[in-house]
């Protein structure tokens, strides 16, 4: 089966809610993803297989040279097949095309090899305040 990757793809809020809940292990919410990403994002990448949303990543930015990867998620049955790294590669390509110079990501420790090995991020020093 062919997987298609679409920058700023047209997605259904309910489909993204279900994918997000599955990927992040929380109940399905009723988030207005469309309004959220259109208001705050440089763009997003959707991964489609047979018309079904199987992957998503959001790319936020500062309006300048910094872009940020957030909410990378792949359907459970498609994890480990390269979908996530292709989502991030497409996000990086599109951020570069928008003249961003840096793509940032933060993640939990269990995703370290995904972001460093599969996606090519390098380790940096960063800070975080839990609010």
> What confidence tens digit (pLDDT) does each residue in 62-88 have?
999 999 999 999 999 999 899 999 999
pLDDT, mean over the chain: 95
Of 94, 108, 103, 109, nearest to 122 by C-alpha is: 103
In this prediction, residues 88-97 reach a mean pLDDT of 98
- For 11, 43, 69, 81, the CA distances from 8, given in Å and listed in that order, are 9, 5, 14, 22
The pLDDT score that the predictor gives to residue 122 is 95
Q: Measured between alpha carbons, how far is 40 from 131 in angstroms, rounded to an integer?
A: 20
> What confidence tens digit (pLDDT) does each residue in 33-54 have?
999 999 999 999 999 999 999 9
Torsion of CA 117, 96, 47, 119, to 10 degrees: 0
CB 73 within 8 Å of CB 58: no
CB 115 within 8 Å of CB 105: yes
pTM here is: 0.93
- Give residue 109's pLDDT band: very low, low, confident or very high (50, 70, 90): very high
């Amino acid at each position: 089966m062919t997987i298609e990757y679409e920058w700023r793809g047209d997605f259904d809020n309910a489909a993204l809610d279900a994918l997000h809940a599955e990927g992040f292990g929380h109940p399905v919410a009723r988030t207005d993803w469309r309004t959220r990403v259109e208001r705050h994002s440089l763009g997003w990448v959707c991964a489609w297989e047979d018309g079904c949303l199987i992957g998503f990543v959001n790319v936020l930015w500062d309006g300048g040279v910094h872009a940020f990867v957030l909410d990378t998620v792949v359907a459970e049955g498609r994890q480990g097949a390269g979908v996530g790294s292709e989502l991030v590669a497409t996000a990086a390509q599109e951020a570069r095309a928008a003249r961003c110079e840096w793509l940032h990501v933060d993640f939990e420790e269990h995703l370290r090899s995904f972001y460093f090995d599969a996606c090519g991020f390098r380790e940096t020093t960063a800070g975080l305040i839990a609010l």
